[in-house]
Amino acid sequence: MKIAVIGVGLIGGSLALCFRGKPDIELVGFSHRQDLADLCVERGVVDSATLSLEEAVQDADFIFLSTPVGLLETYLEQINALPLKKGCIVTDVGSTKASIAGRARELDWGEACFIGGHPMAGSERSGVQAATSLLFENAYYVLTPEPDTDPKSTEALTRLLELTRAKVICLEPTQHDEIVGAISHLPHIIAVALVNQISGYHDNNPLYRTLAAGGFRDITRIASSDPVVWRDILLNNRFNLLKLLRDWNEQVEGFIDQLEREDGEGISERFRSAGDFRNELPERRKGAIAKTYDLYLDVPDHPGIIGRITTELGSRGINLSNLQIIESREDVPGLMRLSFRDEVHMERAKESLESLEFDVYV
């Protein structure tokens, strides 16, 4: 089976790593620059890479378009005009689905077909350097087959995507863009606006960055996302976002009004209803919203301390899903966050680290 990945960045590279090394799969990357083509081969993400689109898609069984959204339709058109293998499935990974689905519908695919796709997992990092085969584990992977798409093609793509360990669901493209606009694109806008607002205050007083603590960091991680990728997503989904931002203004106006009227009960009620909804979000899956079980511990600045902690957990078979040094506190020993997929591993880690006399907080 030949799989072509057009644009081997965070998402294209991560998909390639999920497929890589499986028996009978040949992975070819297409890049628009020789240095990037060389890099994805050097990093072992694809078997070979080419600057020729024709060569990349020739005889391919699956083609994944994984460039920024603004380039997807151009590549779709170019690929549609090239000779494709009978039964070839062309798909994409773009964060918006209506426009590419609309363009694909206008093209004649002959014995090939197009099925839109969107893995609902990612990160604020970009480029093939950030690619990982674990990115999609337990996340949702949306496919947008048309009513007349051959179910066998959707099935074949779904079967291949099992290698990502994501859960495939099918959605209509317009509905996808409305929902994903609200749960992913709007939060990115809010994070960026918030960081830029605070950055403006910081220009006059550097204490803003010094004091920026957990809450600010938690809600602004995605503000570090790739500017080109996000420019394209926001422009592409602008009609949904304009409505969502007007609704957002109403939320802001509501707070202004409650503060002016000193309406404490109204403010508490907003926190209560937000907490109720937030606490009911599906748990224990990675992706756009990752639920983890976290422990915090003070770590003295000793050489080898991180190795000691991870070796201890590893030797007891405790599965660590993430580790982060939190730098929000100055002039104190480091604070480390250890994340686990479930409560059992978290509790076992707590006991084990306490027995080594670490101060552990849940």
Ligand X SMILES: NC(=O)C1=CN([C@@H]2O[C@H](COP(=O)(O)OP(=O)(O)OC[C@H]3O[C@@H](n4cnc5c(N)ncnc54)[C@H](O)[C@@H]3O)[C@@H](O)[C@H]2O)C=CC1
Ligand Y SMILES: O=C(O)C(=O)Cc1ccc(O)cc1
Interface with ligand X includes 79 (CB under 6 A)? Answer: no
Residue 80, binding choice from ligand X, ligand Y, none, Cβ under 5 to 8 Å by partner class: none
Segment 105 to 124, residues that bind ligand Y, using CB under 6 A: 120-124
Interface with ligand X includes 73 (CB under 6 A)? Answer: no
Which residue number, 131 or 336, has a Cβ lying nearer to ligand X? 131
d(CA 10, CA 121): 11
d(CA 58, CA 28): 10
Q: How many residues bind ligand Y (CB under 6 A)?
A: 9
Interface with ligand Y includes 55 (CB under 6 A)? Answer: no
CA angle 290, 292, 297 (to 5 degrees): 135
Radius of gyration of the chain (CA): 23
Interface with ligand X includes 95 (CB under 6 A)? Answer: yes
Interface with ligand Y includes 37 (CB under 6 A)? Answer: no
Residue 66, binding choice from ligand Y, ligand X, none, Cβ under 5 to 8 Å by partner class: ligand X
Q: What are phi and psi of 231, to 5 degrees?
A: -55, -50
24-27 LR contacts (CB < 8 Å, sep 24+): 25/1, 26/1, 26/2, 27/2, 27/3
Interface with ligand X includes 8 (CB under 6 A)? Answer: yes
d(CA 194, CA 170): 34
- Other CB atoms within 10 Å distance of the CB of residue 346: 20
Structure letter (DSSP) for residue 183: I
Strand order in the sheet with 167-170: 48-50, 26-30, 2-6, 62-65, 89-92, 113-119, 140-144, 167-170
Among 354, 295, 303, residue whose Cα is nearest residue 326: 295
Interface with ligand X includes 94 (CB under 6 A)? Answer: yes
CB of 253: closest distance to ligand Y in angstroms? 26
Strand order in the sheet with 360-361: 320-326, 334-340, 293-299, 360-361
CB of 343: closest distance to ligand Y in angstroms? 22
Which residue number, 15 or 56, has a Cβ lying nearer to ligand Y? 15
Residue 173, binding choice from ligand X, ligand Y, none, Cβ under 5 to 8 Å by partner class: none
Q: Choose one: 105-113, 115-123, 170-178, 272-280; the region binding ligand X (CB under 6 A).
A: 115-123
Please state, in angstroms and as integers, the Cα–Cα distance from residue 50 to each residue in 27, 157, 303, following that order.
11, 24, 44
**Using CB under 6 A, which of 123, 220, 292, 310 touches ligand X?**
123
Which residue number, 222 or 349, has a Cβ lying nearer to ligand X? 222
- 37 is written with which tokens? 């083509």
Segment 201 to 240, residues that bind ligand X, using CB under 6 A: 226, 229, 233
Which residue number, 17 or 233, has a Cβ lying nearer to ligand Y? 233
To which residue do tokens 């209560």 refer? 272
To which residue do tokens 């511990």 refer? 297
Residue 184, binding choice from ligand Y, ligand X, none, Cβ under 5 to 8 Å by partner class: ligand Y
Residue 69, binding choice from ligand Y, ligand X, none, Cβ under 5 to 8 Å by partner class: ligand X
Segment 182 to 201, residues that bind ligand Y, using CB under 6 A: 184
**Using CB under 6 A, which of 36, 219, 289, 320 touches ligand X?**
36
CB of 14: closest distance to ligand Y in angstroms? 12
Per-residue binding string, ligand Y, 262-301, x by CB under 6 A, is --------------------------x-------------
Residue 318, binding choice from ligand Y, ligand X, none, Cβ under 5 to 8 Å by partner class: none
Q: How many residues bind ligand X (CB under 6 A)?
A: 26
To which residue do tokens 């992975």 refer? 27
Residue 222, binding choice from ligand Y, ligand X, none, Cβ under 5 to 8 Å by partner class: ligand Y
d(CA 59, CA 4): 9
To which residue do tokens 């989904």 refer? 237
SS3 (DSSP) at 323: strand
Binding site for ligand Y (CB under 6 A): 95, 120-124, 184, 222, 288
